[in-house]
Each structure stands twice: as structure tokens, then as C-alpha cells.
Amino acid sequence: MEAKNFIEEIINGELESGKVTTVHTRFPPEPNGYLHIGHAKSLCLNFGTAQKYNGLCNLFFDDTNPSKEKTEYVEAIKADIEWLGFKWYEIHYASDFFDVIYEKAVKLIKDGKAFVCDLSAEEISKTRGTLTEPGIESPYRNRTIEENLELFEGMRAGRFADGEKVLRAKIDMASPNINMRDPVIYRVLRATHHRTGDKWCIYPMYDFAHPICDSMQGVTHSLCTLEFEDHRPLYNWVVENTGVEHKPRQIEFARLNITNTVMSKRYLKKLVEDHAVTGWDDPRMPTLTGLRARGVPAEALKNFCEAIGVCKANSEIEVTYFEHFIRDYLNLHAERAMAVFEPIKVTITNFPENSEQEDFEINPNDETAGTRKITVSKHIYIDSEDFALVPPPKYFRLKKDGYVRLKNAYIIKCDDVKLREDGSVEELFCSYVPESRSGNDTSGIKVKGVIHWVDADTAVDCEIRKYDYLLKDAAYPGQDFSERMNYDSVHVFRGKAEPYLAEVKDGTTFQLMRKGYYKKITEGGKLVLSEVVSLKDGYKPQK
């Protein structure tokens, strides 16, 4: 199998040497919020790698932090993964392994490799040392095995207050890696767990629980982001010293960062709590539920993840690159339709009283899509952007005495303009060229501009919503996003749409010609067209 990244190179080597026979990965979210685009990268990597090697991928809920976790998040995470089309092999929760993890801690104590420490969190942090200085050994480090067993049992039985005692692994206070300096592996914490309730008042730390859970599930490759690189020696220490049968391997990869995009559950949660957005599923949110509400196809997101690949160096991806994949997908798959955002009424003075039917191309990029009928009549609407009272040079849209083609219909000429008192355009009076019908144009008139329009007799009112980024500036690293919030990120227009848009199923995405990709929604009986992505591709491939 050809390797397309460094992880696959490692796997290929292990399969060849026989170290690994079945590749087994897991996607390990903490159920403390909704998944975002960054998680999609991890999902595609974990599920994609397993798929490629005909292996297995579990869904593993890392729920060792009871105070922040909720069943609501568990359900949302499952729904998001299903939306992406991935199928997990088994579902596990760290909390299902609490008994095993406890036994492993007892084993460490019995082997003289863990001790109960009475230092406060602050004292532990102070005695940990620095990058250049070793730490100081805890005065409780040499408690006897019997005393440790009794105290640890006491922790479990609730005989100590939160924070009064912790269990620490006895490794090396002089290790150059700070994570190896007698790390805390269990803490007393009275919090009701969303699955185990009040059964436990001690909870294992992530670094201790994770390798054990990986091992219990038969995971071969535990893929995580780069900030865990320094934790790998501890991961391996736990695997080696707890006597687990199956030995998983941790491999780190770079996180996904995207310009103009909040990519942290903690901050996304704050946006929701501060009502800066309508919820986790606000179409401006980079959460998977938000993207789904926005109308981003799962395929487009997966294509994006595939294209960015996996590497070992952190970097930042342009948000326009992500949008490029949405547009790319929808260009091939979305039907075309017409709507005008700021309508100007047009009367075609020489048009017959009865309306006429025209063939409208459903998707020029899809030969099988065919055509559907639209009507044109004496009264139509065009977009105010497509008419200029004082046209700039080389203006190919409509102007007084100028010609323009109505998409899939006729050429019209603007003969007269009726203005309101304030000087704005109220109505245009045009004439059409009967010989210029689309597909059968014998008029000989050459026009450079083609504009979209809707038939006023059959048009329906609609609300159009366009979105800006939640963050004003592109730069990601300045983590404090509160000053960078764009509080003007929804723009609403009252427009006119073809009746077809009111008839089709909710959730259908269209290319509104010359406007962008929009998703159809019905809200309170009203037609809403909600922007998915603009038409203009802001992504410039590097030469």
C-alpha cells in the first residue's frame, strides 16, 4: 500500500515486520462540546487510515473530566460522525474502564511505582522544577506500600476532601521531561459523572487513563495532536508499567488551524453562552452541526481534509481554501435557480399580455440534469446591481438605451427610467427583441451582458441571508478572539425568487445564478435563502 503521509509510512513498516497485523485506531473526543472542523481532520485521519488498511476504528469518549461533560454532547458527536458517513467499529467510554484503571493504579502502588501525596496542587506545581532545574521530591514519596494502599482506598471511599490527596506515579523528579516528574494520576473530585453518577469520587488523569483505555480496546495506533508529543514518554511508561497485555503506540500530528476561524471548543462554547451566535448550530459556526446547518456538503469537508493531508508541523490554512472545496463540489451538484436580492421592477412594454415558457438549464456542468420550465412575462424583476443610471466605462449590464440578455430568455433594451423623488430607480421600461430568444437567436444583436431575473407575475417574496466570518481578521495565533469578533456578520435582504424555490424540499442547495450558493429553508411559512458560500473563489493556488 502506498503511503501518503508519515503515519502510513510507519504503519507500512509495522505491517511488513509483523509488529502489527490489524490496524486499529480510535477517534477520542471529550464530550464537553460540539465537534468543529479541526475534529473533522482527526476523524478523517482515524477513520480514513483504518479504512485504507481494512482495519477498525472505534469511537472513544474520553470522559474523565465529569464536571464539563454531558450526554447532550455525546449524542451530538455521534450525529456529526454519522453525517460525515463514518462507521465506528465499537463505542467505548473511558468511564467504562474506571474499574480497570483503578486496578492498574493499585498494581502500580503494589509495585512501588505510585504513592499518595498530601501536597496541594500549588505545592506540587512549585516543586515540579523548570526546564533547566530538576524538581524536588515530595516528602510523601517514600510512604510504605501498605500505607499507600490504605490511603488510596481511603481516597476512593471518600474519606478525604477534594484536593486533599492525590495519587502520583513514582518516576523521576530529575527527568528532563517535566511530565515524567512524578505526575498526578488520580485526584479526589466530588462531581456527578454523566454516566457513572456518584459511584466515584476519584477520577484518573487523562495521561494515565488514555493509554490504558487504548490498550483495553486493542488500539494499535493512538493518533493525537502535537501538544501531546511531550506526553509520549509518560504514555509509554504507563503501557510498560501497568502490565497491560496489548501495547498501543502514540503518534502525533499537527492540528488544523484556519484563518478567520475560532477553532477551540472552549471559545466556541463562549460564543454560544455570550449569545454572539444563535447556538452551536448557527450557520456561521465552524462546528460540524453549524456547517451542516449552513449547507456545506459532508463530501466537500472530507475532500478538504484529504487535500490538506497530515504532517508534523503546525500551520494555518486559508479559509478560502476550505471554501474552494465547497464551491467545487456544489458547482457539480447544485441546481441553478434565479433570485434577485434588491429587486427593480421592469416592464417590457412590447411583450404580449400572456406569459411565455422558457427552458432553463438545471446544471450546465451536469449533462444528465436537463432543463425545467420558467415563465417570462411583461413584468419582471432584475437586481438593482444590474442597472446603472450613470454607468462606468465598459459597463455590460443594463443602462439607459443599452441592451442586455435575460438569462435563458430574450435580449431587452432599456428605453426609459422612472425615478422616485429621492432619485432612486423605481421602474424601468424596456422593449424586448422577439427574434433573440435563447437557443434560437436570429436577431444578429451582439450583447456582452447576461443578467438573471425573475418573472414578477409568479415570483415569491424571500429573505436572503448572507454571512461574513465571525472573526474580522485572518490571523489565528492571537488567541484572544473577543476583540476580533465581527458583530456584523449577518446581512439580510428582501428579495424575489422564482416559485420553484418555494416548492422544492427544505435543505436543498442551489446556485443562485451570479449570486452564490444558497440553501433553501422555510421559516414560519416564509422562504429563506441562506448563503452557503459565495460564487467568487478567493483561493489562489500557489504556482
Q: Which does 454 bind (CB under 5 to 8 A by kind): ligand ATP, Mg ion, none?
A: none
Nearer to ligand ATP, 255 or 413 (CB): 255
C-alpha–C-alpha distance, residues 453 and 48, integer Å: 44
Nearer to ligand ATP, 39 or 181 (CB): 39
Q: What is the DSSP letter of 255?
A: P
Choose the stretch contacting Mg ion; rule: CB under 5 A; options: 25-33, 302-310, 418-426, 489-497: 25-33
Choose the stretch contacting ligand ATP; rule: CB under 6 A; options: 259-267, 282-290, 407-415, 528-536: 259-267
Contact between 295 and ligand ATP per CB under 6 A: no
C-alpha–C-alpha distance, residues 252 and 229, integer Å: 6
Name the active-site residue from 128, 255, 466, 514. Answer: 255
Total site size for ligand ATP, rule CB under 6 A: 15
Task: Indicate the Cα dihedral angle 190, 194, 200, 201, nearest 10°.
Answer: -10
Choose the stretch contacting ligand ATP; rule: CB under 6 A; options: 172-180, 261-269, 409-417, 481-489: 261-269
Minimal distance in Å, beta carbon 289 to ligand ATP?
14
Minimal distance in Å, beta carbon 231 to Mg ion?
13
Contact between 118 and Mg ion per CB under 5 A: no
Contact between 225 and Mg ion per CB under 5 A: no
Nearer to Mg ion, 33 or 135 (CB): 33
Instruction: Quote the longest CA-to-CA distance of the chain.
Output: 102
By 3-state DSSP, what share of the chain in percent is helix, strand and coil, each rounded to 5? 30, 25, 45
Nearer to ligand ATP, 94 or 116 (CB): 94
Minimal distance in Å, beta carbon 22 to ligand ATP?
21
CA 8 to chain centre: 24
Burial of residue 273 (number of CB atoms within 10 Å: 0-12, 13-18, 19+): exposed
Residue nearest to ligand ATP (CB): 38
H or E element in which residue 325 lies: helix 319-333
Contact between 316 and ligand ATP per CB under 6 A: no
Choose the stretch contacting Mg ion; rule: CB under 5 A; options: 28-36, 88-96, 278-286, 317-325: 28-36
- The question of whether 249 is a catalytic residue gets the answer no
Q: Which of 11, 25, 38, 383 binds ligand ATP (CB under 6 A)?
A: 38
Residue nearest to Mg ion (CB): 30
Q: Which of 5, 6, 14, 30 binds Mg ion (CB under 5 A)?
A: 30
Secondary structure (DSSP) of 63-124: ---GGG--HHHHHHHHHHHHHHT---S-EEEGGGGHHHHHHHHHHHHHTT-EEEE---HHHH
**Site residues (CB under 6 A) for ligand ATP, limited to 262-291:** 263-266
Name the active-site residue from 30, 342, 356, 385. Answer: 30
Main-chain dihedrals φ then ψ at residue 504, nearest 5 degrees: -70, 165
Contact between 314 and ligand ATP per CB under 6 A: no
Minimal distance in Å, beta carbon 46 to ligand ATP?
8
C-alpha–C-alpha distance, residues 60 and 122, integer Å: 32
Q: Which of 70, 78, 128, 255 binds ligand ATP (CB under 6 A)?
A: 255
Contact between 211 and ligand ATP per CB under 6 A: no
Contact between 209 and ligand ATP per CB under 6 A: no
H or E element in which residue 433 lies: strand 425-433
Choose the stretch contacting Mg ion; rule: CB under 5 A; options: 2-10, 26-34, 344-352, 443-451: 26-34
- The DSSP bridge partners found for residue 518 are 510, 531
Contact between 224 and ligand ATP per CB under 6 A: yes
H or E element in which residue 194 lies: none
Nearer to ligand ATP, 424 or 479 (CB): 479
Q: What is the DSSP letter of 168?
A: E
Other beta carbons within 10 angstroms of residue 405's beta carbon come to 19
Do residues 302 and 81 make contact, with C-beta atoms less than 8 angstroms apart? Answer: no
Minimal distance in Å, beta carbon 32 to Mg ion?
7
H or E element in which residue 24 lies: strand 24-27
- The question of whether 122 is a catalytic residue gets the answer no
**Site residues (CB under 6 A) for ligand ATP, limited to 119-178:** none
- The question of whether 255 is a catalytic residue gets the answer yes
Do residues 301 and 48 make contact, with C-beta atoms less than 8 angstroms apart? Answer: no
Do residues 479 and 495 make contact, with C-beta atoms less than 8 angstroms apart? Answer: no
Q: Which does 265 bind (CB under 5 to 8 A by kind): ligand ATP, Mg ion, none?
A: ligand ATP
Strands 343-348 and 425-433: parallel
Contact residues for 497 (Cβ-Cβ < 8 A; gap 6+): 337, 338, 339, 340, 454, 459, 460, 461, 462, 527, 529
Contact between 297 and ligand ATP per CB under 6 A: no
Contact between 29 and ligand ATP per CB under 6 A: yes
Contact between 210 and ligand ATP per CB under 6 A: no
Q: Which residues are identified as catalytic?
A: 30, 255, 265
Q: Which residues bind Mg ion (CB under 5 A)?
A: 30
Q: Which residues bind ligand ATP (CB under 6 A)?
A: 28-30, 38-39, 41-42, 224-225, 255-256, 263-266
